[in-house]
Amino acid sequence: MSTDYAASRVSHEGADYWLRRNDDGTKSLVIAHAPQAVLDGFSGQAEGDVFVAPADADNALALRKALPWLTPRRWGLETSAGTGDRLGLATPGHAQAFKDVGGVNPVFAQQSTREMGRTHRTPRNVLDDATWGAFQEGWTDGVGADADHQKTEESLSECAEAGFVFFTIDPGDGMDMAAHDDDEATVREKAARIDLSSLDTSTDDVVSRYAGQTIELESGPLVLDEESVLRAVAKAGPALVRGLELIKHVEGLGVEHELEFAIDETDKPTTLVEHVVVVKELQRAGVELISFAPRWVGQFEKGVEYIGDRAALAKNFSDHAEIARVLGPYKLSLHSGSDKFSIYPSFVEATRGVAHLKTAGTSWIEALRIVAAHDPQLLRDILALSLDSFEENRHSYHLSCDTSRIPSDLPDDRVGELVTELDSRQVMHVGYGAVLDEYGTRIKDILTTHEDEYAALMKEHFIAHIAPFGKR
Ligand SMILES: O=C(O)[C@@H](O)[C@@H](O)[C@H](O)C(=O)CO
């Protein structure tokens, strides 16, 4: 028997819209009281008094046009959080959490090109799944869409074409991490070799612009000494150049956009001077950032709590936030890498809510709890495959798991512990590509059969993520 999702029912310009789950598990959009001109935008058919259309890609696009709050928008400086969803099934639970918490603006569609590649999803798939999920829960307060960790012009164009409006520019691969610790002579030599002509400047100009300057922060002056400025150029100069190329590409696309500059996935913390030089040089080139994601102190490993000195991190949040207020304001962006619950309050306090939170893989790894509960052997198979492909999967992710510590003999009723334990959790957290290739259909079947259970799990999990950012 088909069932209507009660929460999805919305009215707009005299027409009623809701989502229906069909006998076979597929979903349909149902529209009532709409003029023919509105129905003409959808592909479906009349059934009695209503019009019924499959919940597919074309109708997702038509729905975004019909219900404007489903079209991605910019959040500007308002507090926001990106949820990510590698499976395309997690948005209903995410939306329930945002409704419950209040005061945090959602970016349901958020996926890096790396994740899209590993899951074989296109930017349109990501956006369409988020559209249907938000609609299912009757979310009417607006949505963002983040093309996360963008490194090429091609993927920026594809995301823009699909309707993404938030572009996370990640030129981190161009950073010279050795320059963080190189001796002064090496730093001078490296900095002198960097070609900044595309920024209409040179290393000498940058030094004369910033060396010896003082930035008055609330907590005291930040002095930009010559060596630190040179080190910033040596370490971040090439990334700055590449980042600006990517930004110019976005600007040239002529689409609505807001920009984040993300250098968080690097090995060494972003120094305060580096933050100043990078942002000021981008501003000098006419770039307006909405957010900046530095590499914070400590370890932001995937799927687990923050590893490091929390007091040092709180100070680091506060120092960067002071800079962001003086140079911007712009938001600071925290790419959590999933589940850093203990550090969110100090981040919100430091930024005064001028902040963006990103989390992504957690909806995938938490989904495996549902798999473990309903098909323990499948969870064992997922772990085995994640282990087999681990060396490839771990590439470009920060992890410290030790695969030799993972138990191989847990009985069915304890298999779910593998989702909680650090070693197996991290292995499966990054194993999503290979696992979805092999077991994607079975995993999605379990999650759609038990969709209320998955939504309830997501709701509670995301309340824990976003409550510190919201009104609770
Ligand atoms: O796994 C990815 O590629 C991304 O989702 C993440 O790196 C993301 O930017 C993140 O850090 C969310 O926690």
**Mind listing the pLDDT tens digit for each residue in 74-99?**
999 999 999 999 999 999 999 999 99
Going from the Cα of 336 to the center of ligand 1, the distance in angstroms, rounded, reads 8
Query: What atom of ligand 1 comes closest to residue 111's alpha carbon?
Result: 5
Percent of the chain with pLDDT over 70: 100
Provide the pLDDT for residue 395: 87
Query: pLDDT per residue over 347-397, tens digit each?
Result: 999 999 999 999 999 999 999 999 999 999 999 999 999 999 999 999 888
Question: Is 41 inside a domain boundary?
Answer: yes
Q: How far apart are alpha carbons 232 and 472 in whole angstroms?
A: 40
Q: Is this complex scored with an ipTM above 0.90?
A: yes
Average pLDDT of the residues in 107-133? 97
Query: What atom of ligand 1 comes closest to residue 148's alpha carbon?
Result: 9
pLDDT surpassing 80 at residue 472: no
Provide the pLDDT for residue 101: 97
pLDDT surpassing 70 at residue 34: yes
Count of CA atoms in the C-beta half-sphere (13 A) of 190: 24
At 308, is the pLDDT very low, low, confident or very high (cuts 50, 70, 90)?
A: very high
Question: Is 49 inside a domain boundary?
Answer: yes
Q: Given 128, 129, 148, 301, which residue is catalytic?
A: 148
Provide the pLDDT for residue 185: 98
Provide the pLDDT for residue 31: 98
Q: How far apart are alpha carbons 59 and 62 in whole angstroms?
A: 5
* Active-site residue flag, 260: yes
With a 6 A CB cut-off, is 356 part of the ligand 1 pocket?
no
How much is the mean pLDDT over the chain? Answer: 97
Q: Given 260, 322, 366, 375, which residue is catalytic?
A: 260
At 1, is the pLDDT very low, low, confident or very high (cuts 50, 70, 90)?
A: confident
Question: Is 9 inside a domain boundary?
Answer: yes
Average pLDDT of the residues in 111-138? 97
Q: List the structure tokens of 365.
A: 């790894």
With a 6 A CB cut-off, is 112 part of the ligand 1 pocket?
yes
With a 6 A CB cut-off, is 257 part of the ligand 1 pocket?
no
Question: Is 21 inside a domain boundary?
Answer: yes
Q: Return the HEC string of 293-349.
A: ECCCCCECCCCCCCECCHHHHHHHHHHHHHHHHHHCCCEEEEECCCCCHHHHHHHHH
How many CB atoms within 10 Å of residue 174? 16
Please choose from 149, 295, 338, 462 the residue to mutate so as to test ligand 1's pocket, defined by most ligand atoms within 8 A of CB: 149
Report the predicted TM-score, pTM, of the whole model to 2 decimal places.
0.96
Question: Is 165 inside a domain boundary?
Answer: no
Query: pLDDT per residue over 237-290, tens digit each?
Result: 999 999 999 999 999 999 999 999 999 999 999 999 999 999 999 999 999 999
Report the number of distinct structural domains present in the chain. 1
How many CB atoms within 10 Å of residue 167? 28
Q: Which of 266-270, 395-399, 451-455, 460-464 is the least confident region?
A: 395-399
With a 6 A CB cut-off, is 393 part of the ligand 1 pocket?
no
Going from the Cα of 310 to the center of ligand 1, the distance in angstroms, rounded, reads 21
* Active-site residue flag, 58: no
With a 6 A CB cut-off, is 21 part of the ligand 1 pocket?
no
Question: Is 88 inside a domain boundary?
Answer: no
Q: List the structure tokens of 422.
A: 């650090």
Average pLDDT of the residues in 211-237? 98
Q: List the structure tokens of 459.
A: 């709701």
Q: How far apart are alpha carbons 194 and 166 in whole angstroms?
A: 29
Domain that holds residue 38: 3-55
Name the residue with the closest Cα to ligand 1, atom 5. 360
Query: What atom of ligand 1 comes closest to residue 262's alpha carbon?
Result: 9
Question: Is 40 inside a domain boundary?
Answer: yes
Provide the pLDDT for residue 396: 80
Query: pLDDT per residue over 317-330, tens digit each?
Result: 999 999 999 999 99
Average pLDDT of the residues in 122-147? 98
Provide the pLDDT for residue 471: 74
Q: How far apart are alpha carbons 381 and 280 in whole angstroms?
A: 50
With a 6 A CB cut-off, is 335 part of the ligand 1 pocket?
yes
